[in-house]
Amino acid sequence: MMAERPEKYCAVCGRRMVWRRRWRRNWENVRYCSRACRHRGLSDLDRRLEAVILELLRMRGAHKTICPSEAAQIVAGRRSANDWRALMPAARKAARRLVAKDRVDILQKGHVVDASTARGAIRVRLRTET
């Protein structure tokens, strides 16, 4: 029987990674869930989205939520009314990375959900100390 391994999250997309047999020798060093994530890496835009999400949540206060689209709109600026839509996948990834860092929770219909499998509209709130 295989010993339980701790959960790991991809450093780029924030999705939970499942242990794979080919990783048995270097599980401690695995950081990415796929070649695509390894190749893409983290950009300044990704880091900016994380920072904006955290700043918006701090401004809102405890137990308040934001939509990732709010962060995407701020980062996109005033270039075009729809530029922020292209940033939505990156904003959702930024929120998942923050979940992996134990900074925020992702909610749907007021309930905390698994960030790796959430589909559809999500809200983000600061993680509360319990």
Give pLDDT tens digits along the chain (130 positions).
455 666 788 888 888 887 777 777 887 888 888 889 889 888 999 999 999 999 999 999 888 999 999 999 999 887 666 788 899 999 999 999 999 899 999 999 999 998 888 899 999 999 876 5
Length of the chain: 130
45 CB-side CA count, 13 A? 16
What is the rounded (10 degree) CA torsion for 102, 13, 118, 61? 40
Could you give the CA distance from residue 79 to residue 69 in angstroms, rounded to a whole number? 15
Q: Cβ atoms within 10 A of the Cβ of 21, count? A: 6
Domain at 44-126, CATH from 1.10.10.10, 1.10.3720.10, 3.90.226.10, 3.30.70.20:
1.10.10.10
Per the CB < 8 A criterion, the answer to whether 87 and 99 are in contact is no
Could you give the CA distance from residue 79 to residue 45 in angstroms, rounded to a whole number? 15
Taking the complete model, does pTM exceed 0.85, yes or no?
A: no
Instruction: Name the phi and psi angles at 45, rounded to 5.
Output: -60, -45
Q: What is the DSSP code (8-state) at residue 108?
A: E
CATH 1.10.10.10 spans which residues of the chain? Answer: 44-126
Residue-level pLDDT at 65: 95
Tell me the H-state helices in the chain.
Answer: 35-40, 44-60, 68-76, 83-86, 88-100
> What value, to the nearest 5°, has the Cα angle with vertex 51 and ends 73 and 60?
75
